A and B are shown apart, each in its own frame.
Chain A
Amino acid sequence: MKLPFSRRSAFILAGIALASGFVWVLARSGPLAPVRVTVTEVVRADLAPVLFGIGVVEARRSYLVGPTVAGRVRRVAVDVGDAVRVGQLLAEMDPVDLDQRLAATVAAAARAKNAVDTAAAQLADSIARRDVAAANLRRYDDLGGKGFVSSSVIDGKAQELKSAEAQTAGADAALAGARQDLARLNAERDGAQQQRANLRLLAPADGLVTARDAEPGSTVVAGQAVLRLVAGDSLWVKLRLDQHRSAGLQVGLPAEIVLRSRPGQVLAGKVARIEMLSDSVTEERIAQVSFDAPPAEVSVGEMSEITLRLPPVKQALVVPNAALRLRGGKTGVWVEAADRLNFVAVRAGISGADGRVEILEGLKEAEAVIVHSERDLAADSRIKVVPALAGS
């Protein structure tokens, strides 16, 4: 029984197809399959490092306006959002009995003034009496010299003069006392007026009202805010930077500020101040970034993203940071050499904004390093270099 040739060859073809399929499967999966990787060369290039952090818009100068003594709010003259000028009346506290006490001190001062006049008149009267007594004494002295009057009469006149002089001194002192009384009462009146004026809460500077914390009728304690103001031209951003990504932070660095309310718009600014104190709990450094041109209608407390551009590093040896691997506690890269892979420990420097990182030690220019890989690599991994892996 001879089979037709075509049937035999078809069977063989089917066998070959199956066998080749099986080989393909073995080569594609399992331990024999190569790991697909991408490779790049170590090159020299300029690196532009950046620092990135988030911040909150704050006012450099903000004011809490409130009474210095406890009291009840009588009137609040401004509302949130109002622009106020320095010295403008913002609110007034209830004076309770302060007006009456002020009237009492005014009246007392007026009365003291009258008392001064009375004392002055009494002084003038006693001076007149003393002058008359002095003239009388002189006359009786002459008559006594000529023997017309007894010496006892002269002594009487001398005593009258002394009395008159003592009365003058007394009237003089009474006048001075009355004047001092007047000064005291005037001072008391002025003090009462000052206290009265202190119940009027005035704007300490030009600014915007950001909060109205107490309404008329509510009682506040000393130091509690009735109104809060910020100086609208003093807005800046309080920036928080992760400590391990804050090297190179300096005053004057140019900053790109993106406010959460307008994500597409980049505002220019610069680092205005760096705080000496880091936040030890969140492990962040704090710096203030000022706007070059303060934007209109920005809100205090708004979140913003800030990118600081550091001076570029010229002609550094660079590799993509995806090439850095951690192996056995060491940072390094896989270098493609002949038909095997070498793990070379490297010392990495700064990172650029484009994701490349400076290599300080361990690599030479034009060495081929593995960037992306499908799996974790080992020294004996078989690799297949492809231009790009999935997803790009």
Chain B
Amino acid sequence: MISLAGRDILHSWGKFVLTGMGLGLLIGVTLTMAGVYRGMVDDARVLLDNSGADIWVVQKDTQGPYAEASSIRDDVYRGVLGLPAVVQAASVTYLTMQVRHGATDERSMVVGFEPGQPGEPAYLVAGRRLLRGHFEAIADVKTGFRLGERIRIRRHDYEVVGLTRRMVSSGGDPMVFIPLKDAQEAQFLKDNDAIIGDRARTVANPALNRPGVPGLVDAVNAAQTINHSVNAVLVRVADGTPAEQVAQDIRRWKHLQAFTREQMEEILIAKLIATSAKQIGMFLVILTIVSAAIVAFIIYTMTLGKIREIAVLKLIGTRNRSIAGMILQQALGLGLIGFVVGKISATIWAPAFPKYVLLEPADAVRGFVIVMVVCALASTLAIRAALKVDPAAAIGG
């Protein structure tokens, strides 16, 4: 028994492989699009993983710190630490801003954290952790910063002492980690012109600048520049205690909002990135349909191109099953080549994307099954056309 399909493919293998490659690139784009979607969801997840917290404590009636602005006092963590089953609690700040770096600037999320507490980057790819309490930074490699470089955040210069990886905000901006006190200042300190303007306004206010009370205006000015706020408190709960129980305690007795890991994931994925994820998802669905249609047409036209040969086969008495098998095998072969090329190309170009593209093996398997099913379905169209061919066409004109 000779393989009709193999014979036919070998007969014009160049054309066959090139068609497969073209199909593969299309499949590659589809896989990449799925990767972009997965990457968005994964960005949100790693943000939560990297903070290493079980509970996020934020301003009451907000869904901060990622989805909404949240501002709480920086001594809140002390009260939280006093609750039962709380192992660690630390203040953090998040601020998305442009970090100046030489003549250019990088969009980054500046994180203020306490060393050794939740919120610290879990691992480094180069350099060391922070040693000094001020003016040192750990940056994600995506920022493009290098060890030993000096970057500028607001009015201070920071030395990059460590690099980390996959530390991004839910929007995919790479993170820059700096000590909490510096971050508080960066977030809440106004620029010099604004400070001078505020002072002048205070001096001009007769209620605050009374002639008989020297020093009052200085005191008011000093009180205005002090800011002890942070965005959230990250809490780690003792093993074996349900986080929800501690979160309820915080909500009830501390009059703050507290989210567990599950609730935070819900906020990030179902609310924060919902619209853009749906956008990508819609595009992915259309791309899948278009790819399937193109595969079907390619196989159909490939079969139509061989219609005379098929008529000859019929004329010499080949069974319909053999002809159908040939077309099906060719379609599946084309699908296989397309899938392999698509997977390879997607893997090659995925790291070049500015935002994270996550190619999940499960997606690849799913994609493979879809490609094969689409190819098989598409071949039925071609098989029908082939079986309807009149053997006389082989000798007729």
Residues of A bordering B, CB below 8 Å: 1, 3, 7-8, 10-11, 14, 18-19, 21-22, 24-25, 28-31, 50, 52-54, 219-221, 223-225, 241-242, 245, 281-282, 305, 320-322, 324-326, 328-329, 331, 351, 353, 355, 371-377, 388-392
Contact = CB atoms under 8 A, between A and B. Distances in A.
B214 A8 contact: no
Contacts of B188: none
B238 to A, nearest CB: 8
Contact of B125 (A21, A320, A389): A389
Given A7-B10, A7-B13, A355-B161, A374 B133 contact: no
Interface of B: 7, 9-11, 13, 17, 49, 52, 75, 87-88, 116, 120, 122-129, 131-135, 141, 145-147, 161-163, 165-166, 181, 211-212, 214, 228, 236, 238-239, 337, 340-341, 343-344, 347, 350, 359-361, 364
B126 A353 contact: no
A3 B10 contact: yes
A390 B351 CA distance: 14
A392 B147 contact: yes
B128 A52 contact: no
B344 A21 contact: yes
A326 B125 contact: no
B343 A25 contact: yes
13 contacts: A10-B13, A14-B13, A14-B17, A18-B341, A21-B344, A29-B359, A281-B75, A355-B131, A373-B123, A375-B165, A390-B126, A391-B145, A392-B147
Nearest to B136: A52
A63 B289 CA distance: 83
A18 B347 contact: no
Given A25-B344, A355-B128, A374 B239 contact: no
Nearest to A320: B128
Contacts of B87: 329
Contacts of B163: 390-392
A233 B147 CA distance: 40
Given A21-B344, A224-B214, A329-B88, A11 B129 contact: no
Contacts of A351: 131
Given A21-B340, A21-B344, A392 B126 contact: yes
Contacts of A29: 347, 350, 359
A326 B13 contact: no
Nearest to A353: B131
Closest 8 CB pairs of A and B: A355-B128, A52-B132, A242-B133, A389-B125, A391-B163, A224-B214, A392-B126, A322-B124
Contacts of B165: 374-375, 390
B101 to A, nearest CB: 14
A30 B361 contact: yes
A390 B141 contact: yes
A212 to B, nearest CB: 14
Contacts of A281: 75, 228
A93 to B, nearest CB: 16
A161 B312 CA distance: 182
A346 to B, nearest CB: 13
B343 A52 contact: no
Contacts, number: 130
Given A321-B128, A321-B129, A372-B126, A18 B340 contact: yes
Give the most central of A325, A353, A391: most B CB within 10 Å. Answer: A391
B174 to A, nearest CB: 12
A48 to B, nearest CB: 12
B121 to A, nearest CB: 10
A53 B123 contact: no
B214 A325 contact: no
A52 B133 contact: yes
A321 B17 CA distance: 53
Contacts of B49: 376
Give the most central of A14, A29, A282: most B CB within 10 Å. Answer: A29
A88 to B, nearest CB: 24
Contacts of B343: 22, 25
Nearest to A282: B181
Contacts of A391: 125-127, 141, 145-147, 163
Nearest to B351: A29
B157 to A, nearest CB: 8
Given A25-B344, A329-B239, A355-B128, A376 B123 contact: yes
Contacts of B181: 242, 282
Given A224-B214, A322-B162, A392-B126, 16 more contacts: A3-B10, A8-B10, A14-B13, A21-B344, A53-B134, A241-B133, A321-B128, A321-B131, A329-B238, A351-B131, A374-B165, A375-B165, A389-B126, A391-B125, A391-B127, A391-B163
Given A329-B236, A375-B123, A376-B123, A322 B129 contact: yes
A333 to B, nearest CB: 12
Nearest to B163: A391
B125 A305 contact: no
Contacts of A8: 10
Contact of B133 (A24, A53, A221, A377): A53
